[in-house]
Amino acid sequence: MVQNNSNCSMSHFRYPLFTSTYSLILLFGLPLNTVSLWILVRRNGLRKSVPVIYMANLALSDLLFILSLPFRIIYFTNGEWTLGNTLCMIPGTLFVVNLYSSSLFITLISVDRMLAVVYPLRSRFLRTAPVAWGLCATVWVLISGLSVPTAMNHQENNDTECNVMRCFEKYTTDEWKYGFYILCCVTFFGILVPFGIILGCTVAVVRQLSSYSMKTSSSNTDMSKNKIVKLFLSNLLIYTICFIPFHVAFIVFGLNKLNILQGGETYFHIQTVTMCMASTNSCLDPLIYYFSSKKLQSRGRCDSSTKTGGIGLVQSTSLIQQ
């Protein structure tokens, strides 16, 4: 590595930031997702419970990404890539696979929970294991198709200025153009459209639960209502924090790289931070979607004796787990 060139120095904050962020995600995300997936499959099973099917696929997506993190940690620790072209393509591809499969699985979870609360009886034919598996298979097929151009755009490249091989950075202008067009397309269909669906589901559930609260003053029913609202808001919150900032920053940074937008290094710094934020979704998913769901299930059982006006809410609560 050329020592007298500032562009070749590892003093830029992205190197320690990425190294520490990915190390923490690996440290916490690997056991969280492994245990969550094991419990979902062994304790709950994948034959009947629709939410479990969606959450198990979400945990699998997160686990695949987390297993690729050692390659990223090695690179950002050393500042150069020595593991070959194939191993360079895999981590970059799995990051994209995780990002958009998580987006779609979170959307499926939100839609499923909305149907259970707003249309608990009419939606039973839609909330079945075969339908859930079919939707999950569709997600994996779509994401697999996206992974091909992504892999081709995440190859190792020779940084002639510093005389080292690079991975995850230092892409050419042509690679940026190609990647930018893909990014704009998947941002709309893979992020904005799902976000709109999740937002719509959240509004529908809040309205439905508001009508329940006017029919009953049961404290148990109010607690169940609050649990359900928190689950939907957590869906919206994790989506807003992890996915939206990253895509906004990446598009702006892409415009800067293509000389369409001026702004110096500022956009690069923002893109670096938001990429770390996007990566943390693999740690937050098992906490929000599995453990919160178990609390809701316990509450649903406790409320099974609720009378009169709370019956609809209790039915909706229990149906979320079916």
Position 156 scores a pLDDT of: 87
Domain assignment of residue 169, yes or no: yes
Model confidence, pTM: 0.85
Q: At what angle do helices 69-78 and 85-118 cross, to 10 degrees?
A: 130
Q: How crowded is residue 67: how many other Cβ atoms within 10 Å of its Cβ?
A: 17
Whether the Cβ atoms of residue 282 and residue 98 lie closer than 8 Å to each other: yes
Domain assignment of residue 313, yes or no: yes
Domain assignment of residue 78, yes or no: yes
Backbone φ, ψ for residue 320 (5° rounding)? -60, -30
Whether the Cβ atoms of residue 84 and residue 170 lie closer than 8 Å to each other: no
Q: Which helix (H) or strand (E) holds 145?
A: helix 129-152
Identify the CATH number of the domain in which residue 139 sits: 1.20.1070.10
Amino acid residing at 291:
F
**CA 36 to CA 43: how far, in whole Å?**
10
Give the range of the structural domain holding residue 179, as residue numbers without chain letter: 9-234+281-319
Domain assignment of residue 251, yes or no: no
Domain assignment of residue 252, yes or no: no
pLDDT digits (tens, 9 = 90+) for 54-81: 989 999 999 999 999 999 999 999 888 9
Beta strands, E only, the chain: 157-159, 164-166
pLDDT digits (tens, 9 = 90+) for 183-233: 888 899 999 999 999 999 989 988 888 776 555 444 445 546 777 777 777
Domain assignment of residue 241, yes or no: no
Domain assignment of residue 273, yes or no: no
**CA 215 to CA 236: how far, in whole Å?**
27
Domain assignment of residue 137, yes or no: yes
pLDDT digits (tens, 9 = 90+) for 264-303: 688 888 989 999 999 999 988 876 665 555 544 544 444 3
User: What's the total number of domains in the chain?
Assistant: 1
Whether the Cβ atoms of residue 160 and residue 110 lie closer than 8 Å to each other: no
